[in-house]
Amino acid sequence: MDSILVKGNGALNGVIPIAGAKNACLALMPATLLSEEPLTLTNAPRLSDIRTMTQLLQSLGVEVSALQDGKVITMSSHGTLDPRADYDIVRKMRASNLVLGPLLARLGHAVVSLPGGCAIGARPMDIHIDALTALGAEIELKDGYLHAKTQGGLKGAVHEMRFASVGATENFVMAATLAKGTSVLKNAAREPEIVDLVRCLRRMGAEIEGEGTPTITIEGVTALRGATHPVVTDRIELGTYMLVPAIAGGEVECLGGRIELVGAFCEKLDAAGISVSETERGIKVSRQNGRVKAVDVVTEPFPGFPTDLQAQMMALLCTAEGTSVLEEKIFENRFMHAPELMRMGARIEVHGGHATVTGVERLRGAPVMATDLRASVSLILAALAAEGETVVSRVYHLDRGYERVEEKLSACGAKIERIRAAG
């Protein structure tokens, strides 16, 4: 397993290109199952999660080809499809469950492994099951697999989700595009990745209204065509790199960033004394002098503060002036970065869903371990401003969601290198 070595190196300045959104791409790729014609995605991120989704789609019978080192992905599911998504792939990545809705809509049946838990929580699928059942699917759990089928195809329905689940919204919307009649999803998730998925489905001929609001209406059609769609900018990678000058000092311009993708996050940076401005190329962030101010954070569904930026924000607040309280309301176990930050001298107390961070002048480098995707990058951020050397181990977590981290940070003056594991 590779590690990453970081040496604190003072203020960082430069330009960082932001890639296409992992969490949009992981929903867009299964949409190919809805049509016999090819679906091409451009601006796709080059990440291990995308390679995992590619493997899954190929195991179902989808032809996948990539150009430009993976930035352009063309998929075609015109052949015979195998509606079984095996545990050995699904357990590696929860987003594999996003093939359930499209397979049901296209084939009328699917067998998809439950993903199992992951580091940040149990990750149940009850909201997905309720939503697809509302469209007429019969779903039962057997041997760790969801066995789903429909008699005579999915039928449009009105359904209100108990919680604005991102994945369940995506499964419902994709399935409803080919259901008979009108579907209305209430308490729908509003994330930009949902908006991007709907824009792609519309290009494929779907009739959908209301994306980005709590109510999405879908008129079922008999078939969808192929399309070419650019993956939206990754707002989580954007927010992560906006924190580089905030934590280390200096000025960084994040190319492709737009304030509308990170509104609640920018409000917190502003309150912490960080200067954020939109340029014609992206977003410029700088902190020239003076310590960051402590701020409180509560994670919520979009447009609230994103849970996927909580760990990174905690890294910033470890050196803020004052005490900050972070409340994690989306996942039940998403503070595993805290003990690792404490190894670097951070002062953090975790009680259930609350973490209280008392800022210190400076963190000190130490050997630390990545536990999940966003925790891993929060440790890298902390290391950029820490005194001395930090070695972050198990960086396979990092490679799931961040392409070319060392390259992007080195370009801003960071002292960072990957230590390849022997063998």
Which residues contact ligand EPZ (rule: CB under 6 A)? 23, 26, 94-95, 121, 123-128, 163, 165-168, 307-308, 330-331, 373-374, 401
Based on CB atoms, which residue is closest to ligand EPZ, 29 or 318? 29
Instruction: Give the 3-state DSSP-derived string for the chain, with helices as H, strands as E and coil as C.
Output: CCEEEEECCCCEEEEEECCECHHHHHHHHHHHHHECCCEEEECCCCCHHHHHHHHHHHHHCCEEEEEHHHCEEEEECCCCCCCEECHHHHCCCHHHHHHHHHHHHHHCEEEEECCCCECCECCCCHHHHHHHHHCCCEEEEECCEEEEECCCCCECCEEECCCCCHHHHHHHHHHHCCCECEEEEECCCCCHHHHHHHHHHHHCCCEEECCCCCEEEEECCCCECCEEEECCECHHHHHHHHHHHHHHCEEEEEECCCHHHCHHHHHHHHHCCCEEEECCCEEEEEECCCCCECCCEEECCCCCECHHHHHHHHHHHCCCECEEEEECCCCCCCCCHHHHHHCCCCEEEEECCEEEEECCCCCECCEEECCCHHHHHHHHHHHHHCECEEEEECCHHHHHHCCCHHHHHHCCCCEEEEECCCC
Q: Least distance (Å) from ligand EPZ to the CB of residue 124?
A: 4
Q: Least distance (Å) from ligand EPZ to the CB of residue 310?
A: 9
Based on CB atoms, which residue is closest to ligand EPZ, 308 or 403? 308
Q: Least distance (Å) from ligand EPZ to the CB of residue 92?
A: 12
| 412 is annotated as an active-site residue | no
* Amino acid symbol at 111: V
Based on CB atoms, which residue is closest to ligand EPZ, 94 or 268? 94
Based on CB atoms, which residue is closest to ligand EPZ, 45 or 345? 45
Q: Least distance (Å) from ligand EPZ to the CB of residue 229?
A: 17
Based on CB atoms, which residue is closest to ligand EPZ, 190 or 284? 190
Q: Which of 25, 118, 200, 254 is catalytic?
A: 118
Q: Least distance (Å) from ligand EPZ to the CB of residue 225?
A: 25
Based on CB atoms, which residue is closest to ligand EPZ, 10 or 124? 124
Please give the Cα distance from 386 to 391 (Å, whole number).
12
Q: Least distance (Å) from ligand EPZ to the CB of residue 138?
A: 17
Which residues are annotated as catalytic? 118
